[in-house]
Amino acid sequence: MLKEKCTFKKPFGPYSPILKINNLFFISGQIPVDQNTGLIPKYLTEQTTLVLNNINTLLKENQLSVKNIIKTTIFTTKINKLKEINLFYQKFFDKHTTIYPTRSCIGISELPKKVFIEIEAIASI
């Protein structure tokens, strides 16, 4: 198990943002925190976009791209807004690839820092 390159600020808990095991990269759940300012966007759509961009940054730092993502798991406190999440999720993946990864979406009651969304991903080389 190898900890991979990550220039993100220290995580909020005792975990690695990204680990490589054989040909798989496991990206820990990302919440919508701007890595430059530490700010969290107010709206679900902005939070969704920021989380996906943070995942993209982790991939790029490890010479990967969105095309390498094979699975995502979305956790949201706004499951009733899944249509909005899907709109921005689809827009993001349409920009980067022609194949959507497999996905699970789970509605939950609360997330760290009172954010609305967290997404984890698995990428393959």
Would you tell me how many other CB atoms lie within 10 Å of the CB of residue 100? 12
Place of tokens 């990206």: 27
Looking at 1-125, list the stretches that DSSP marks H as alpha helix, in order from N- to C-terminal side.
44-61, 82-96
Of the listed 19, 24, 82, 105, which one is catalytic? 105
Residues 45, 117, 81: CA angle, nearest 5 degrees: 55
Q: Is 6 known to be catalytic?
A: no
- The closest of 3, 53, 18 to 33, measured between CA atoms, is 53
DSSP 114: G
CB 17 within 8 A of CB 8: yes
* Residues taking part in catalysis: 105
